[in-house]
Amino acid sequence: MSQLKIAVAGASGRMGRMLIEAIQEASDTVLTGALDVPGSSSLGSDAAAFLGSPAGVLIESDLARGLQGAQILIDFTRPEGTLEHLRYCAEHGIKMVIGTTGFDQAGKDAIAAAAQKTAIMLSPNMSVGVNVTLKLLEMAAKSFAEGYDIEIIEAHHRHKIDAPSGTALKMGEVIADALGRNLDDVAVYAREGITGARDPSSIGFAAIRGGDIVGDHTVLFAGIGERIEISHKSSSRVTYAHGSLRAARFLADKSSGLYDMQDVLNLK
Question: Which residues are identified as catalytic?
Answer: 156, 160
Range 179-185, long-range pairs (CB < 8 A, 24+ positions):
179/141, 179/142, 179/145
Question: Which CA distances in Å does 209 have to 134, 147, 214?
Answer: 22, 31, 10
Amino acid at 168: A
How big is the chain, counted in residues?
A: 268
Positions of E strands within the chain: 4-9, 29-35, 59-60, 72-75, 95-98, 119-122, 149-156, 187-188, 203-209, 215-222, 227-234, 257-259
Alpha carbon distance 58, 51 (integer Å): 14
Alpha carbon distance 20, 81 (integer Å): 19
Alpha carbon distance 88, 187 (integer Å): 35
Answer yes or no: are the C-beta atoms of 176 and 182 closer than 8 Å.
yes
**Cβ neighbours around 33 below 10 Å, total:** 24
